[in-house]
């Protein structure tokens, strides 16, 4: 694998229509695979209960999606960073989305609407946060009150329950 390419070399070889392009895509795919695998190895909580083969398949799927996204957006690369750093972002974003999906796939939104009014979610909404004393803390308190107001008045009941449930489980 040749990851010592310059940005221009990456762009040139990935846009070529020959064996050099195949080699560059293979190198990029291997790089993205390792990035996704590293992410999943650091975030195993959401993948517990899954077999090693399932995790590797999820890794492979994320890698393929990231590779396709990088190739499709190669014209968006501005050169502000190394090409591999830019491509790494695609891999991590795909892994984050897959991780989030795994975390929530067993939770039914319909089941959330059947929760009773005295469920922990409702109690969490009613709890008041402590009022801070310093100036910075006062600004934070104001921001918290704005967020609380948006949650209480601008979200649908399902959205509110999902948001609160998510914050409780974190």
User: pLDDT tens-digit profile of 55-81?
Assistant: 889 999 999 999 999 999 999 999 999
**pLDDT tens sequence across 106-139:** 666 666 555 544 455 555 555 555 555 566 666 7
| pLDDT at residue number 108 | 67
Q: How far apart are CA 104 and CA 125, in angstroms?
A: 21
| pLDDT at residue number 89 | 94
Asked if the model's pLDDT at residue 33 lies above 80, the reply is: yes
Q: What is the pTM of this model?
A: 0.62
| pLDDT at residue number 50 | 78
Asked if the model's pLDDT at residue 51 lies above 50, the reply is: yes
Could you tell me the sign of the dihedral formed by the alpha carbons of 58, 65, 94, 97, in that order? negative
Percent of the chain with pLDDT over 70: 76
| pLDDT at residue number 126 | 54
Q: How far apart are CA 8 and CA 24, in angstroms?
A: 12
Cβ atoms of residues 156 and 164 within 8 Å: no
| pLDDT at residue number 111 | 61
Instruction: Provide mean pLDDT across the span 7-22.
Output: 92
Q: Go through the domains of the chain in sequence order and give each one's CATH number.
A: 7-104 (1.10.1740), 109-169 (no CATH)
């Amino acid at each position: 694998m040749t990851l010592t390419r310059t940005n221009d070399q990456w762009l040139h070889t990935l846009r070529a229509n020959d064996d050099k392009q195949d080699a560059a895509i293979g190198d990029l795919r291997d790089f993205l695979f390792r990035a996704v695998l590293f992410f999943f190895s650091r975030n195993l909580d959401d993948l517990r209960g899954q077999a090693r083969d399932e995790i590797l398949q999820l890794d492979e799927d994320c890698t393929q999606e990231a590779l396709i996204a990088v190739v499709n957006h190669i014209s968006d690369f501005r050169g502000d960073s190394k090409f591999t750093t830019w491509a790494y972002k695609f891999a991590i974003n795909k892994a984050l989305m897959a991780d989030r999906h795994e975390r929530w796939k067993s939770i039914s939104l319909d089941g959330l609407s059947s929760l009773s009014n005295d469920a922990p979610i409702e109690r969490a909404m009613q709890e008041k946060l402590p009022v801070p004393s310093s100036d910075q803390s006062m600004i934070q308190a104001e921001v918290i009150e704005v967020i609380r107001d948006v949650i209480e008045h601008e979200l649908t009941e399902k959205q509110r329950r999902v948001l609160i449930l998510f914050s409780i489980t974190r």
